[in-house]
Structure 1
Amino acid sequence: MVEVGDLKKGMVIMVNGEPHRVVDVSKHHMAMGRGIIRTKLKSVVTGFVKDVNFSSGERVEEANLSFRQAQFLYSDGAHYHFMALDDYEQYILSEEDLQDAKWYLIENLELSLVFLEDKPIGVQLPNVVTLKVVETEPSFKGDTVSGGGKPAVLETGLKINVPFFVETGEFIKVDTRTGEYVERA
């Protein structure tokens, strides 16, 4: 059981005996009384999305998930293809199944496939991935005086802020949990 205040985007919980993926979660505090946790849940079985409100302090059951080591092979646009490392079986996930994880997938990336009752429902990424900067503004002398950073587009299409010294063509490490720059690779 997990307290609703600890729910995070991407978790899979049981609601009315059916597994649901947390698509969005926000906390709201009332002037007097307990807070409300507003969630947007997507049924893993039907794909139906619904809004569910919980009272602060409520507990929900986490779905019984299993994990298998896999490798990302390729994307054909709408679908993403993975191969299990133990038996080389291939699995296909949709862009909808992956949510924001799609921005970190590069060929041959090793990760964990998430299964619910032998059906793949998503991926668990490594905490840090190495991606190539394909577009960013050039740096100028004195840029570092003000601190901060500049926008950059990575090879997967992900847009993040990077320090001024990062140039187009460089490889950088990105935290998959926050989507932030970590360091040069």
Structure 2
Amino acid sequence: MAALIEAIHIKRKSVFELEDVPYTCLDAEITTPTARGGQTLVRLKMRNLLTSAVFEKTFKAGDKFKEPDLNFVDASYLYSDGEGSHFLDQDSFETLTLTGDMVGNALDYLIEGALLQLYMYNGNPIGLQLPIFVELDVTYAEPGLRGDSSSGSGTKMARLETGLELRVPLFIKEGEKIKVSTENRDFAGRA
């Protein structure tokens, strides 16, 4: 039997199952009443791992949730086509396919051979977990003009090999490899 998790023990990034659907916790807020006999409440901001819908719901501290049958599988990105995005399971060498909705904007960070983790729920792939940083080549960078740094911004637009466009420091040139944060789509340094 799957272990049960009380609502009060659910923290950020925890996964749990509610009404046979897996969720991940984005934020948890515990409210303790000041009056005697009042119940401690837990407000969870949670993401449905099947549909990616995000919502908030309040539970009693003692409400129990099942642990989902959720596994992480190491995989590498192969390619995308009309059927979806295809990944190679690094253990079984099986090809796993995710739909466009499951992948979301992750294609902005994926190049052929990129390693990541896939969520598997009841044996089926339902989503992916990108690494915190990825290294990508700069295919185009606006020229940095002398005196640009005096305005205080000190950045320019650059396009990466995946088509992602972001602001980078003036010293970044075409052909360089940079680190990009997958959480906030920002330049994180030279690779």
Output the TM-score relative to the length of structure 1.
Answer: 0.73
Amino acid in structure 2 at the alignment position of 1:169: G
Please provide the CA RMSD for this pair. 3.6
Q: Does 2:159 align with 1:156?
A: no
Which residue in the other structure is 1:66 paired with? 71
Q: Does 2:148 align with 1:143?
A: yes
1:31-72 Cα offsets, whole Å, 9 max, x none, are: xx999957574462xx49574433697977463421122111
Q: CA separation in 1, counterparts of 2:157 and 2:41?
A: 36
Which residue in the other structure is 2:17 paired with? 14
Q: CA separation in 1, counterparts of 2:64 and 2:156?
A: 41
Question: How big is the shift at 1:174?
Answer: 1.0
Residues 36 and 80 (structure 1 numbering): CA distance in 2 closer, same or farther, change over 3 Å?
same
Question: How big is the shift at 1:143?
Answer: 2.4
Q: CA separation in 2, counterparts of 1:166 and 1:35?
A: 50
Contact persistence 1:13–1:60 (CA under 8 A): no
Question: How big is the shift at 1:170?
Answer: 2.2
Residues 3 and 182 (structure 1 numbering): CA distance in 2 closer, same or farther, change over 3 Å?
farther
Which residue in the other structure is 2:37 paired with? none
Structure 1, 79-88 or 175-184: larger mean CA deviation? 175-184
Q: Does 2:178 align with 1:172?
A: yes
Contact persistence 1:139–1:164 (CA under 8 A): yes
Contact persistence 2:41–2:59 (CA under 8 A): yes
* Higher radius of gyration, 1 or 2: 2
Q: Does 2:111 align with 1:115?
A: no
Question: How big is the shift at 1:5?
Answer: 8.7
Residues 176 and 43 (structure 1 numbering): CA distance in 2 closer, same or farther, change over 3 Å?
closer
Output the TM-score relative to the length of structure 2.
Answer: 0.71
Q: What fraction of aligned residue pairs are identical, expressed as a percent? A: 32
